[in-house]
Amino acid sequence: MTTQRYRIDIAYDGTDFAGWQVQPRHTTVQGELEKALKQLCGQHVRVEASGRTDAGVHARGQVGHFDWPERTQRPDRLLRGINALLPDSVRVMKLRSVPESFHARFSAVGKEYRYFIDNGPIRQPIERFYRTWVRDPLDVVAMQKAAALLEGEHDFAAFAANPNREIDGTTRTIYRLSVTQKGSLLTIRAHGNGFLYKMVRSLSGYLLRVGRQEVQPEMTQTILQSKLRTARVPTAPPEGLFLWRVFY
């Protein structure tokens, strides 16, 4: 059957989802998208993404693709049709036809994630699903020193939740890992050629430990070289994490 491949740029609030990937008896982002497409064309249409996000993790710039049964269909109408059937927490922001050679995951050359931290004395209630609250004072300069040591190409096995499941190994390149502060808001930006399972939350969890002065920045190289996941690298909570952009 002849099909047309479409790329979609997706934004979603991950609060009420069990992550991206379809799971039995759970509401997922992929599941909602595929449900909407089935209602439009009467058959199952598989949506592939640039990568999975965990339960509670959000996306501003997730990218996916699907193969649509060949029909006369204007992209703008298809976009409106999909969004009309999606819950308010998910939206396809852009839709355009692409060659069959495009693959949301395998064509990607990099990603940017952002992790937001509310470092105020009292948690802002309206931000509770989108920022991780840390009441303890944080040493931002120490966090920045540790972040700089994590930039570049390294074996990040110590920052993977399950390094043994990584088919392509555990070596990745981080082009930029920064920590900035504006008032009580701290933002961790991670831009790399790829990330391991829960790696960004692990990097964020580690930088928070450094910020609390529980680990010195100078320990970063030792932790990387150990290639062992220990309590020094906790997994930060999901609500502060956003998949910000995928690069092609």
* Residue 174 C-alpha from the chain's centroid: 15
The residue annotated as part of the active site, out of 54, 136, 139, 155, is: 54
Burial 132-167 (b: 16+ CB within 10 A, else e): bbbeeebebebbbbbbebbbeebbbbbbbeebeebe
User: In the 8-state DSSP scheme, what is residue 122?
Assistant: S
Instruction: Write the Ramachandran bin of 48: left for phi over 0, alpha for psi from -120 to 50, otherwise beta.
Output: beta
Cα atoms found within 13 Å of the Cα of residue 145, Cβ hemisphere only? 15
Taking a C-beta distance cutoff of 8 angstroms, is the pair 195, 175 a contact? no
Neighbours of 58 (CB within 10 A): 24
16 among known catalytic residues: no
Count Cα neighbours of 10 within 13 Å in the Cβ-side half-sphere: 33
CA 100-197-31 angle, to 5 degrees, is: 55
Q: DSSP alpha helices (H): ranges in the chain?
A: 29-41, 75-85, 140-150, 199-211, 220-226
Instruction: Name the residues annotated as catalytic.
Output: 54
